[in-house]
Amino acid sequence: MSVPPESAVPPSPPPEPDMPPPVGPSHEERQWALIAHLSALLGGLVTGHWLGIGCFLGPLIIWLVKRDSMPFVDDQAKEALNFNITVAIVSALLLVLTVLTLGIGLILTIPVGVVVGIFWLVCLIIAAIKANEGERYRYPLCLRLIK
């Protein structure tokens, strides 16, 4: 005897495969990497761009604290630190050039300083956006002093 279609038990759906762990940095890692990049902006605003010291203190602190526990933050904070050290070196060289030329070098150092400042700001914003998206960002024209 056949079973009427209404009383037949429907086949159970196939089991769903286990979801693989998310690939890429976690939300917390992306957030810390974002903070590492933006802390340079905060340091630059607080201490002034020409001093240069404040620009790399934030990335340095974040890198020292998080480098062992979060690989993505280690990479991005190190990248931010290297870039901001590079900008600080360029700023110091411009200041030395101005002093050595007794101010005559301002004809060159002011426009170059403005270009460097705009370049720094644009790269920093791009890096922060990329870090928040979970992408590893490499700054252009950056000395890789911290490996």
Residue 18, in any domain of the structure: no
Residue 127, in any domain of the structure: yes
Distance CA 126, CA 18 (A): 35
Residue 62, in any domain of the structure: yes
Residue 5, in any domain of the structure: no
Q: Write out 111-129 in H/E/C secondary structure.
A: HHHHHHHHHHHHHHHHHHH
Phi-psi region of 15 (alpha: psi -120 to 50; beta: other; left: phi over 0): beta
Higher local confidence (pLDDT), 130 or 13? 130
pLDDT attached to residue 78: 96
Confidence of residue 23 (pLDDT cuts 50, 70, 90): confident
What values do phi and psi take at 131, rounded to 5?
Answer: -65, -40
pLDDT attached to residue 41: 87
Mean pLDDT of 6-17: 65
Distance CA 31, CA 131 (A): 8
pTM > 0.85 = no
Residue 69, in any domain of the structure: yes
Mean pLDDT of 109-114: 94
Structural domains counted in the chain: 1
Per DSSP, helices labelled H in the chain are 27-47, 53-66, 71-100, 106-132
Residue 6, in any domain of the structure: no
- Containing structural domain, residue 115: 26-132
Using one digit for the tens of pLDDT, what is the confidence trace for 38-49? 998 888 778 765
Q: What is the mean pLDDT of the chain?
A: 86
